[in-house]
Amino acid sequence: MIEIFTRAIAYSGGIALAAAGITLIYMATGTFNFAHASKVAWGFYIVYAMMSLLGGSPYYYVIPAALFSAFLGFVTYFFVNRYLLKRKADMVTLMMSTLGVDLIFFAFLNVFADYLTEVYKLSARYFVMELKDPIIMRMGATEIRAVPVVSFISVILVTIGIYLFMTRTNFGIAMRTTIENPELAQVLGINPEKIYLAAWLLGGGMAGLSGAFLSLTISGYPSVGMTILVTLFAGSIVGGLDSIIASILGGFLIGMVEQLGTYSLSVALGGWICAYRPIIPMVAMVITLLFFPRGLATIDWKKVLGKLGVKI
Amino acid sequence: MGIEDIFANPLLLNILINFAVGLIVTISLNLEVGFADIPQFGRVLTVLMGALVAGGITGRIVASIYGKPSGVEYANHLINYKLVDELSRLLAQSPTLSITMLVLTLIIAAILGGIVGYLCSYPALRLEEAYLGITLLAFGDVLQLVVWNYDPIAGGTEGVMIPDVFRWIGTGPVRFVGATFIILGIALLVFAYAERIARSPFGRSLKAMRDAPLAAEVYGKDIVALRARVLIIGGALAAMGGALWALYTGSFKAVSYSRLTWTFWPWAYMMLGGTGNNVGMLVGVLVFSIVRTLIYTYKDLIGSVIPINPNWLEYMLVGLVIIAISLFRPQGLLPEKPVFALPRKKIEKIRKAVLGENIEESEAKES
C-alpha cells in the first residue's frame, strides 16, 4: 500500500510539472503545445543515455535533462512560434505548428534511440530505470526510493518559485502584464518577445524535469511522450489554463486519480481493469469539464462554501 | 497487357487506395474544421467506429447467414481466422451477398458514426477551443484503448480478420484493383456530396456561423442545430472511410487506428490542401498519398543512402510540411474562395434578364 502511494506521488509530481509547463506556455503565448510530448520523452532519454554511458546516480542528469528540453523549447520558439505570434496566427494554427515540431523532435528521438541501440548496444527502445533509483528508507518489507521525495519537493519548490517569480520580481510582473494585455505592456516598454522566450524556456525546462522524474517511475520508450500526452493535457486543463499554480494542482490531482483510482478499482473489480488505466485521467478530465468548462481554477469557492453554509 | 495489369502495379494501387480513403476522412474533417470551425482533434474516434463495424459486425452478420458461430467466439483469434477464411470463400461465390454486405456495412457505419458525432456535439457546445479539442482527442484515445483491451467485440490485441466482400471481383491483383476502384468511386461520391453541401444553404450557414457566430444567430441560424448536424455528417463520413479501409485490408486491429494516423495526418492533408475548400482536399490528399507511398515503397533505397530508418524520415517530412504550411502558406495550396450557389453562367444569365438592356450601362457605371 505504501509502495503504491509513494509511486503515485512520484508519478503525479512528474505530471504536475509537465502540466504546469503546458499552462505557462499557453498563458504567455496562447499556444497549446503538442511538442511537450517529445520534450518529456527527451527528458527520459537524456537521463537514460547519460547514466548508461557516464554512470553514476540518475539524479546527476536531472539538470542536463531540464536544460536540453529548455533548449528544445527555445528551438520551437525561435524557429516556428516567433513568426506565428508576430503574424497573430489563430489558435488552431499555433496548435498544429507545435504538432509539426513534435513530429520532428519525435523522429530525432527515434534516431537517437536507434543510435544508442546500434552503437552502444543499449536496449534503448524500451528501458526501465526504477531500480537505478537509490533506496532511502525501508519500512518492513517495502523499500521507499528517492524519487517520490525528490519529485514532491521539486513540485513544491517550483510552485513557490513560480509564485515568488510572478509576484516579487520585475520580470515576473512584466510577464503577467504581457499575459494580461500585450499591447499595454508594450506601451510600458516591455519587450513581449523576451517574455515569450522565457515562457518557452521555462516550460521546456519543466517538461525535461518531468521526464527525468517520470523515467524513474514508469518505463521509457520513444513514444512515451505521446502516450502520456493526454494525461498531461488533462492535468493542465483540469486545473484550468488561466493559472499555473492551479495546473500544478490539477496535474497532481490527475496523477493521483490515475494511480490510486486504478489501484482501488483493481482491488474492487479485479486486475483486468489495469489495462484501462489511461482512461481514468481522461474520464476525470471530461467529467470536470462538463461541470466546470474552464477548469477547477474558475470555481468560485466562496460561493460553493456559502451554499454549504460555511462562512468565511 | 490488360487494364488490370497496369493498375496492378503496387505503387500506383497504394497511391490510389491511400488517396481514396484519405480523401473521405479528410473531407469529413474539413466539413467540421473548415466549414464549422470545430477543433476536431478526435477524428480517429469515428474512423475507428466505422472500422469496428466492419471488424465486429459485418463478419458476424455473414457468419449468421451461413449458420456459423457469430457470438463472442467469433472474435476469438483461434477460431476467427479459419472461420473468416471459409466465409470469404463462400462470399466469393455470391456477388449479390458481397455487395449487399458492403452497402450494409457502410450504412451501419454511417449510422453509428453519426450517433457518435451527435454525442460529441454535447461537449462541442459547452467548451471553448483548446478545451474542446483536447476533450475530443481524449474521446478518440478512450475508444481505441477499450477496443484494444476488450476482446469480445473485435479480438482485442489479436484483432480480427474480416470476410472479404471484394473477392467476387477476382483473385490476386484483380481483387485489389477492383476494390480500389469501388472505393475510389465512393470517395468521389463523398467529394461530390461535400461540394453540394458547400453550395447549399446549409453550407453557407455553416460558414456564416464560423465567421461570425453572433451575427449568424441574429439572422435566425440555430447554432446548436448547425453544429450537431455537421458533427453527425462528419462522423458518418469518417466512419464510412474507416469501414472501407478495414474491408479493403481484410483485417482489423485497434492499434492501427492511432490518433497520429487518423487524426493528425488528415489534419496535415487538410492544411496543405487549404482548409475550407473541398477541391483543396483533393490536392492535399493526392500530394501526401504520393509522397508517403513513395517513401514507404523506396524505404530500403532511402535507408541505404541516409543512415537513418526511413520511418523517421516520414515523420520529419510530415512535420516539416505542417510547419512550412503554417509559417508560409496558412491558407493552403488552394485557398478557400467564395462559393456561388449557382454556376457562374446561370448567375450572369439571371443578371442579364433582370438588368435587361441596361447591362452595359450599369457595367460602365460600376467601372
- Identify whether residues B145 and B259 lie together within a single domain: yes
Quick: pLDDT tens for B79-112: 777 787 888 888 888 888 888 888 999 999 999 9
Query: Are the Cβ atoms of A275 and B312 closer than 8 angstroms?
Result: no
Q: How far apart are CA B361 and CA B367, in angstroms?
A: 10
Q: Are residues B309 and B359 in the same domain?
A: no
Q: Is B308 on the interface with A (CB under 8 A)?
A: yes
CA nearest to A105 within chain B: B316
- If asked whether residues B346 and B239 sit together in one domain, one would say no
Residues from chain B that touch A286, judged by Cβ atoms under 8 A, are 123, 135, 138-139
Q: What is the average per-residue pLDDT within B134-138?
A: 88
pLDDT tens per residue, range A14-56: 999 999 999 999 988 888 899 999 999 999 999 999 998 888 8
- Quickly list H helices, chain B: 3-7, 10-30, 43-52, 59-65, 77-92, 95-126, 129-149, 151-154, 173-199, 201-211, 213-218, 223-249, 259, 265-273, 278-297, 299-305, 310-328, 344-355, 359-366
**Which is more confident, A222 or B356?**
A222
Q: Say whether both B325 and B350 belong to one domain.
A: no
In sequence order, the β-bridge partners of residue A142 are A139
B interface test, pick of A79, A97, A266, A274 with most B CB neighbours within 10 Å: A97
Angle between helices A170-180 and A2-29 (to 10 degrees): 70
Burial, A53: exposed, middle or buried (Cβ in 10 Å; 0-12, 13-18, 19+)?
Answer: exposed
**Are B135 and B280 in the same domain?**
yes
Residue B357 or residue A120, greater confidence: A120
From chain B residues 264-303, the ones with a CB under 8 A of any chain A CB are: 264, 267-268, 271
Does residue B359 sit in the same domain as residue B332? no
Shared-domain flag, residues B140 and B232: yes
Indicate if B350 and B305 belong to the same structural domain: no
Which residue in B has a C-alpha nearest to residue A81's C-alpha? Answer: B327
Q: ipTM score here?
A: 0.86
- Residue B329 sits in a domain of what CATH number? 1.10.3470
The pLDDT of residue B365 is: 61
Do B306 and B349 lie in one domain? The reply is: no
Q: Is B126 on the interface with A (CB under 8 A)?
A: yes
Contact (Cβ atoms closer than 8 angstroms) between residue A11 and residue A263: no
Name the A residues in 262-291 with CB < 8 Å from any B CB: 275-276, 278-279, 282-283, 285-286, 289-290
Domain count, chain B: 2
Q: What is the mean pLDDT of residues B191-196?
A: 92
Q: Quick one: what percent of chain A has pLDDT higher than 70?
A: 98
pTM of the model: 0.87
Chain A residues within 8 A of B133 when measuring between CB atoms: 32, 92, 95
Share of chain A above pLDDT 90, in %: 32
Q: Cα separation of A266 and A128, whole Å?
A: 23
Work out the pLDDT band at B8, boundaries 50, 70, 90. low
| B346 shares a domain with B332 | no
Nearest beta carbon to residue A290 from set B123, B139, B330 = B123
A276 to B146: CB separation less than 8 angstroms, yes or no: yes
Domain that holds residue B367: 342-367
Sorted by where each begins, the domain ranges of chain A are: 2-228
Identify residue B354 by its one-letter amino acid code.
V
